[in-house]
């Protein structure tokens, strides 16, 4: 069964003024779509065509003969996850179990935000910043290119896309400003809570 581009979980204008409709048109409609198209072309008529994204990602990671398949499968997954990490009126502070887990792991929400922003802004070149669950504890990590926590045996709770195409139309080379806007105004803490509950 062919992979399909999932729809955005909100209108293209929903994240303005922090992410423009134009950015989402290109990022979702062009970049994300190209990863879906490439993956379908690569796995067509191969045993991998019968597998889900998770299986493809974990079985092709570090396979030198499947680098292209991994990159496109992981980018399909990463982007689908990223869209849900944001919402209109997002940001602010989490509550309940997420708030408690962040305080326990980082000392405070502000310290988490600082560590997460540092991960996102210090990732050299293209990549991702993540909040992950690892062995029952939360931590921050960054990954290059298409790599994600799943490939490293960890559970993703939140991500920020720091490939240039994620922010260049709106922020040009000001990645720190984009990451700050993501943290302050876009994080969907309800989605983080759902992911944390599933990882428990």
Given a cut of 90, whether residue 136 has pLDDT beyond it is no
169-198 average pLDDT score: 97
Q: What percent of the chain has pLDDT over 70?
A: 100
| Domain 96-199 superfamily per CATH | Iron/manganese superoxide dismutase, C-terminal domain (3.55.40.20)
Cα dihedral angle (6, 48, 152, 108), rounded to 10 degrees? Answer: 10
- Residue 1 confidence (pLDDT): 67
Q: Cβ distance 84 to 9 under 8 Å?
A: yes
**Does 53 have pLDDT greater than 70?**
yes
The pTM for the full model equals: 0.97
Considering the chain, tell me which residue range(s) the CATH 3.55.40.20 domain(s) occupy: 96-199
Looking at residue 32, what is its pLDDT?
Answer: 98
Residues 39/2, Cβ–Cβ less than 8 Å: no
CATH architecture of 21-84: Orthogonal Bundle (1.10)
DSSP 29-56: IIIIHHHHHHHHHHHTTSGGGGS-HHHH
The mean pLDDT value for 83-93 works out to 98
Q: What is the pLDDT of residues 104-120, one digit of tens each?
A: 999 999 999 999 999 99
> Could you give the maximum distance between any two Cα atoms of the chain, in Å?
50
pLDDT confidence band for 199 (50 / 70 / 90): confident
Given the DSSP bridges, would you call strands 155-161 and 137-144 parallel, antiparallel or unpaired?
A: unpaired
């Amino acid at each position: 069964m062919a992979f399909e581009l999932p729809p955005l979980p909100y209108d293209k204008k929903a994240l303005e003024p922090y992410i423009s409709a134009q950015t989402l048109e290109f990022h979702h409609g062009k970049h994300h779509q190209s990863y879906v198209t490439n993956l379908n072309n690569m796995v067509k008529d191969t045993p991998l065509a019968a597998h889900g994204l998770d299986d493809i990602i974990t079985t092709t990671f570090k396979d030198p003969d499947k680098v292209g398949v991994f990159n496109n499968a992981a980018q399909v997954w990463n982007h689908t996850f990223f869209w849900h990490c944001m919402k209109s009126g997002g940001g602010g502070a989490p509550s309940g179990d997420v708030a408690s887990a962040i305080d326990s792991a980082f000392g405070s929400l502000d310290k988490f935000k600082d560590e997460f922003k540092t991960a996102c802004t210090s990732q050299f070149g293209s990549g991702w910043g993540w909040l992950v669950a690892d062995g029952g504890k939360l931590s921050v990590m960054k990954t290059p290119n298409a790599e994600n926590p799943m490939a490293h045996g960890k559970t993703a709770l939140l991500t920020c896309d720091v490939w240039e195409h994620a922010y260049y139309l709106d922020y040009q080379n000001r990645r720190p400003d984009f990451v700050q806007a993501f943290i302050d105004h876009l994080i969907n803490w309800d989605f983080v809570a759902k992911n944390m509950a599933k990882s428990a």
